[in-house]
Structures are given as C-alpha cells and as structure tokens.
Structure 1
Amino acid sequence: MKLATFEIPTSAGPLRRIGAAMDGRLIDLAAAYAAHLDRADPGCDAQRLAGLLFPPDMALFLGSGILGRHAAHEAIEAAAVTGEAFGARTSYAAHEVRLLAPLARPRVMRDFLTFEGHMKQASRALGRGDQIPALWYEVPAYYKGDPDTVVGPDAIVPVPQYCEKFDFELELGMVIGRRGKNIPKSEAEGYIAGYTIWNDFSARDQQTREGPLGMGPSKAKDFDAGNAVGPYLVTSDEIDVRQLRMIARVNGEVWTDATSAGRQFSFADLIAHVSQAETIYPGELWGSGTVTGGSGLELGRWLHPGDVVELEIEGIGTLRNRVGP
C-alpha cells in the first residue's frame, strides 16, 4: 500500500484523514471501512469503529498492527464498489485534497549517516578532511530531530535568517511499525512499517560553526519546516530498498542521480542497535542519511528563495518543495 495523510475541504475547514493512494485517487480509509462494516454487519456502530481503527494520525494507525493493515485492505476493496457511506465520500481525486507528510508528526526522528561516499565528501566540504574515523564503520550513530518541524509535499521551506548556504539532503526514510526492545537483527525487518522520502534541509554555514563543539547539529537542522517528508509511506511488503534509484532536481535540473545501494548499515542493523535497552515505537521516522552526492554541499551549490527542489525515489514517488524567503 501507498499510505498517505491528507486534508479534505469541509464547510468547517480542512479535515485531516489518513488514506491509501490507488489509481490516481486517495481512499479515505475511515469512510471506506465504515462502508465495509455497514455491509458486513448492518446495524453495527460502523462509523465509530472505523474511526477507532483509522484515526487522523498515521502513528496511531500503525500501532494497530496486523489488525489495522487487514482493515485497510478491506477498506480499499469497499471503496472500489461504494462511493459514499454515512454521507462521507470514500475516495477523492488527487487534485481535490492537500497531501500532508504521511507522518504529520513523527513520534521520534532519528537521522543516521550510512553512506560512506557522502561521509567522505561532506567532511571534506566542511573542512574536516576526508579521513573517516574507524568507529564510524562499527557504530551506526545518529542525531535526533524536532518532530514539529516536519512539513509535507509542496510546502514552502523558508531559509533561516542566519543562513547563507542553504541545502537539501536526499534521504530514504524508514518508519517503525511495531513496538519492541532488544530486537535481534534477524527479526528487525518485521518492525518496519514502510518507507518514504525525507528532505533534511540544512543551514551549512551554521553547521560549520557548530561542528567543533562536538554536540551534533542544532540550529543547522532545527528550524521551522526544515524536514520535508512524503509524498507517501510505502509499506515494506511492496518495496525492496536495497537498490532504488534516487534523484534530486533543482528547478528541473538534475543535481543528483544515485542509488540506495552500498549503505554501511542496513535498516535491520539500525533497529538492532537502537533497540538495545530502549523501546522503539510505531510512528518513529528514521533516515538513512544523505545518499552519496545527494546534497548541494557535495557539489558546492546552494539553494535560494524561489528554487523548487524535487526528490524522487523509485517506487515511492516525488517530494516537491519550494524554498521561501
């Protein structure tokens, strides 16, 4: 499934829903599942039950596990034969809705650095040389981001007032789908809900200033709208992320054409590492780190107000955002 979070217009204002993208339409999973329940068990409290399984929060839905995924498939089948239930439409054309980040507010954000090529090139560009510490090959280190800075497709991303070297970062995002702790690598893939695109915007001049402090990025990464995510969350049963084509375009010009292959650590490695003595939860967003060549930093090129950044990953879609003043 391609899961989505979107807004529909109503007389009372925009209404947030979670859904599935099918054949150019967005299926409202709550409305469609209510239609399914009304057919399967006439007279039951279909709307209330559907609302419990499909709240307007992707992280909460993912917490329903196998039950929720099974219900989503039943909702998709119902939407194919029922256009309306209890006065609500079961699907919408893409132009009728506003796509949000599939995880409008991730529970936790962890961003790793798993591509050796980016590690070398970025370190050199930031004036740290291209010698990678031996420990990097052993420990999948990460930093945590601010979930309140997440925006979705077509959102405007303003340049922070203290930044003159504004940058994008093309990353493969993974979303946790099950709660767990001390998870062995052999079982880790069962905890993955799916994958999305993550554009980790960065203030590179601020990053250069902060780096010597040894505390990791702070205002280089933390600013409103600094993390664009989307357009969809593709469930793990429908995509193999070992070798996906990853492309970045700025104003239509290709800046990056890379692949997800060659990561130092797999997502299973990351789950096994992070879950040591720590419980992980559905709705966490984890980044692969920037793909090799997947940033302006590595090219010596920067973003400017008005630029349109498009990140595309094979099998997921295209995440488009405009840089604002």
Structure 2
Amino acid sequence: MRWSSYLSPTDGREHPAVVSGGALHGLRTATRLIDLLGDDGERLARAGEEALADPLDVVPEGEARLLAPIPAPPSVRDFYAFETHVRTYREANGQQMDPGWYELPVFYFQNPAAIRSAREEIPMSPGSVQFDFELELAAVIGCGGADLRPEEAERHIAGYTLFCDWSARDLQAREMRQGLGPVKGKDTATSLGPWLITPDELEPHRAGVSFDLEMRAAVNGRPCSKGNAADLYWSFGQMVAYASRGTRVQTGDVIGSGTVGTGCILELAAVHGEQAYPWLTPGDEVRLEVDLLGAITARITEAGPLHPLT
C-alpha cells in the first residue's frame, strides 16, 4: 500500500490516508500514521482496508494538503551508503576511499523538528551561500528493536519514502574542520514523502541489496542527477542493524540512505565545476523523483535572520 499523512478538509486535522486510484482515502479512526505502526504490519494492513471501505475523505492527490508521512519522527539518521557518490567526490578532490567505509555504514543524526513535506517551500540556511539538495531514499521503522542482526533488521521496516537532506555546504565545511558536525549545515530542513510505500510493494523490484528504482533530480527543469537505488553498497537491513547496535531503534525512526551517485551539487560541482552546477538560490525550483516513491517538489526561499553571536 501507499500511505500518506494529510490535513483533512473535513475536520482540519492530521490523518493518515491510503493512496489509491489517484486519491487519498482518509482514515477516520487515527490521527497519525505512526500510531498504526509498532507491529509486524498487520495493524497498518487492517487500517488500509478500513480507509478504503469507509474513508473520512476522498481527496485527489494534487489537491491534498500533504504532510510528511511521519511529520515528527523520534529520530532521523542519515547514512552514507552509496559507494559511487563517496568515491566520485573523494577522487575529484584527490582522495582515495578510506578502507573503513567498507567496514562501517556510518551516519549522523539530523533534526526531527526540521521535517518538511514533499511540497513545502525550503528556506536557505541562515548565513549560507552554498545551498544544496541531496537525492536519497529512506526507511521508516515499524517495530522497534535493539542489537538487531542484519537479516532480521529489515523485517522491522514499515515502509520506504523519498528523502531530501537539504545541506548548507559552506556551513558544513566550517563545522567539520572543528572535528564535529555536520550540525547547522544540515539543520534547517529535511523533506520526506510524499508517500510511505510498504515493503511488499517494492519486493517485486528487489535487486541486489536494494531495489531497482530509478532516482532523478532536476533544478529549474534541467535534469542534473540520475541514479538507481540498486546501487546501494550497504543494505537497509545492515543500516538498521548498525543503528540498533548498543541501543534501540524506535517506531517511526527514519533511516536515510545517503546520496545516490550524482545526487547533489557538491558532487556534480566537484567533477564539472560550480559554473556548470551552481549552488541553489532563492527562487530555484527543485524536483526529486524515485520510481514508485513519488516526487519532492520544492521552491527555495530566502533564509531566516542571521543573528550575531558575539
């Protein structure tokens, strides 16, 4: 099934909805999609049947006031799992692959309060002039767990969604020179959605450790990125297992894949130059797409105020 979260025109509140036949079929009996997770998927399946049989609303996809599928996840971890992206950027800067990358599926934590829907405008980060998109996909944890093995960890995934990690590259570079970060370089916005796709929908597209799903990005209508989810080096099972090592993953946690090869300006500009692939500026229109998962469409807006610290 395809799920979403939206604001109902009937009561003005957040509701989960099944997306079918080009429309959202709102669920009457729950106000958050995360409340339907937490088991092996049976609760979500039953709710889907209920929404289709007796919907609160039937809203055409293009008219729905979409939210992120999980508007306020407990945590957001973003991994670094596409080898092509890592290798291309490193080699363009005269660096070799670190052998440790093949031993640990590293990640950093993002800001759950910065989650945006797939149709929201995105403000630039205050103080940044090197603003970037990142074309990714993500898994959402259904049933929590601790110290999971990779072969069992994938069964804890409730579904998959499109993910964009908006990045202030100049802020990120300054922060990481201090041995910490990224912090404010990744703190302003993360787009999720538009849909949460249950694993059974993607299983026919299984390829290697991932799925055969084409991934594309365009800025102001100009195609600039193209990759495939099947190019993942680390599987989502491995990522979730590593995230749960020595701790717990919780229902609703978001696990980002990291950027697909060619999937950000940082990589493209390192190879082809900033003149060929300039940084995002207010007014730019960004469209990110992944087969079956839908599209994020975002207009970049001015940053908020930059208040001096000293």
Normalised by the shorter chain, which TM-score bucket? 0.7 to 0.9
3-state SS, counterpart of residue 44 of structure 2:
helix
Matched, 1:201 2:160: no
Deviations 1:12-52 (A, max 9, x none): 7x32111111011101122xxxxxxxxxxxxxxxxxxx3xx
Name the aligned partner's letter for residue 145 of structure 1.
Q
Matched, 1:236 2:199: yes
Matches within 5 A, 1:158-237: 158-223=123-188, 226-237=189-200
Matched, 1:102 2:69: yes
Name the aligned partner's letter for residue 122 of structure 1.
Y
Matched, 1:57 2:32: yes
Alignment CA distance shift 1:158-1:245 (3 Å): same
3-state SS, counterpart of residue 128 of structure 2:
coil
Structure with max Cα Rg: 1
| Contact kept? 1:58, 1:104, Cα under 8 Å | no
| Contact kept? 1:3, 1:102, Cα under 8 Å | yes
| Contact kept? 2:240, 2:255, Cα under 8 Å | no
Deviations 1:109-135 (A, max 9, x none): 00000111211333456x5x4212111
Deviations 1:263-318 (A, max 9, x none): 22101111222222212111000111000110011122211111111110011111
TM-score by length of 1: 0.84
- CA–CA distance in structure 2, aligned partners of residues 182 and 71 of structure 1: 29
How far did 1:65 drift?
4.4
Name the aligned partner's letter for residue 235 of structure 1.
T
Deviations 1:118-160 (A, max 9, x none): 11333456x5x42121111101111001100000022111112
Alignment CA distance shift 1:283-1:150 (3 Å): same
Alignment CA distance shift 1:70-1:230 (3 Å): closer
Pairwise CA RMSD of aligned residues? 1.8
- CA–CA distance in structure 1, aligned partners of residues 187 and 41 of structure 2: 35
Stretches of structure 2 that go unaligned for 5 or more consecutive residues are 270-276, 303-310
Name the aligned partner's letter for residue 289 of structure 2.
E
Q: Which residue of 2 aligns with 1:26?
A: 24
| Contact kept? 2:3, 2:196, Cα under 8 Å | yes
Q: Which residue of 2 aligns with 1:4?
A: 4
Q: Which residue of 1 aligns with 2:261?
A: 292
Instruction: Report the more deviating stretch, 235-244 or 283-292.
Output: 235-244
Name the aligned partner's letter for residue 193 of structure 1.
A
Name the aligned partner's letter for residue 252 of structure 2.
G
Name the aligned partner's letter for residue 24 of structure 2.
L
- CA–CA distance in structure 2, aligned partners of residues 276 and 210 of structure 1: 27
Which one of the candidate residues 232, 239, 250 is aligned to 1:263? 232
- CA–CA distance in structure 2, aligned partners of residues 96 and 298 of structure 1: 35
Aligned residues: 288
| Contact kept? 2:134, 2:165, Cα under 8 Å | yes
Q: Which residue of 2 aligns with 1:310?
A: 287
| Contact kept? 2:125, 2:185, Cα under 8 Å | no
- CA–CA distance in structure 2, aligned partners of residues 124 and 145 of structure 1: 27
| Contact kept? 1:59, 1:107, Cα under 8 Å | no
How far did 1:185 drift?
1.7
TM-score by length of 2: 0.88
Q: Which residue of 2 aligns with 1:154?
A: 119
How far did 1:102 drift?
0.7
How far did 1:262 drift?
2.5
Q: Which residue of 1 aligns with 2:243?
A: 274
- CA–CA distance in structure 2, aligned partners of residues 122 and 148 of structure 1: 29
Q: Which residue of 2 aligns with 1:69?
A: 44
Stretches of structure 1 that go unaligned for 5 or more consecutive residues are 31-49, 84-88
Which one of the candidate residues 58, 61, 67 is aligned to 1:91? 58
Matched, 1:250 2:219: yes
How far did 1:64 drift?
5.1
- Identity, % of aligned pairs? 36
- CA–CA distance in structure 2, aligned partners of residues 123 and 220 of structure 1: 19
Name the aligned partner's letter for residue 118 of structure 2.
P
How far did 1:95 drift?
4.1
Name the aligned partner's letter for residue 8 of structure 1.
S
- CA–CA distance in structure 1, aligned partners of residues 27 and 260 of structure 2: 33
